[in-house]
Homo-oligomer: A and B are copies of this chain.
Amino acid sequence: MLIKNSDRIVFAGDSVTDAGRAYPLGEGGDGLGRSYVHIVDNLLAAFYPELRIRVTNAGISGNTSRDLLARFDKDVIALKPDIVSICIGINDVWRQFDSPTIPDHQVMPDEYEKNVAAMLEKLQSGPRDVFLMTPYYMEPNTSDAMRARMDEYGAACRRLSDVYGCHFINLQAMFDRYFTFRHSCSIAWDRVHPNQIGATLIAREFLSACAFDFLHISNP
């Protein structure tokens, strides 16, 4: 498994990550909120009790990439993490469609790619592993305007992962596969905020990328 004893993992993002975490620091049981972050923590603690892994939720609801970049030094770099995972961009796109009359709230593709690049630049020297999750829209129809726009942001993530040597996690593709079995409304009413099943799906995707072993059982 990529995650080692004594590692500190910081998850940065928006409401998909935040989900009611404690402030100022999202740590410790309920302090982790109810997103995929607490499920990652639960599974690590349940399957690998012999390891001490510190998990921190650094998501803030409503953040765009612009907001996250502005607080990245304070909320991520300053924690000296061993592993960082970023999931940002949904609000950059969403505001273009649910608030079409308010341009200040929107972040266009060019700026998005620059913002995320600036974060990855800051992570070059510190952590051992960096994960970049695509933003997603739980809309299987790729010709939907918002989905099509979201795919541009996902493509930027893939390009940036290649450039900066991050682990690339394609949440959009994972949800697309899932929706061949069940309708997206069984995971999220608004096609963005996953329920606990959806959070479990994201957590599994992250842990798979870490080569987590679900058959691992420690023996005293």
Q: Which one of A42, A45, A191, A215 has the highest number of Cβ atoms from chain B below 10 Å of its Cβ?
A: A45
Given contacts A141-B141, A190-B189, A200-B42, contact A29 B195 (CB under 8 A): yes
In the complex, the answer to whether B141 meets A196 with C-beta atoms within 8 Å is: no
Contacting residues, chain B, for A220 (C-beta < 8 A): 177, 180-181
Contacting residues, chain B, for A99 (C-beta < 8 A): 28, 186
Report the copy number of this chain in the oligomer.
Answer: 8
Q: How far is the CA of A5 from the CA of B122 in the complex (A)?
A: 41
In the complex, the answer to whether A100 meets B190 with C-beta atoms within 8 Å is: no
Given contacts A46-B197, A144-B141, A181-B218, contact A186 B52 (CB under 8 A): no
Binding site for B on A (CB under 8 A): 27-29, 38-39, 41-43, 45-47, 49-50, 52-55, 94, 97-102, 140-141, 143-146, 177-178, 180-183, 185-186, 189-191, 195-197, 199-201, 204, 214-215, 218, 220
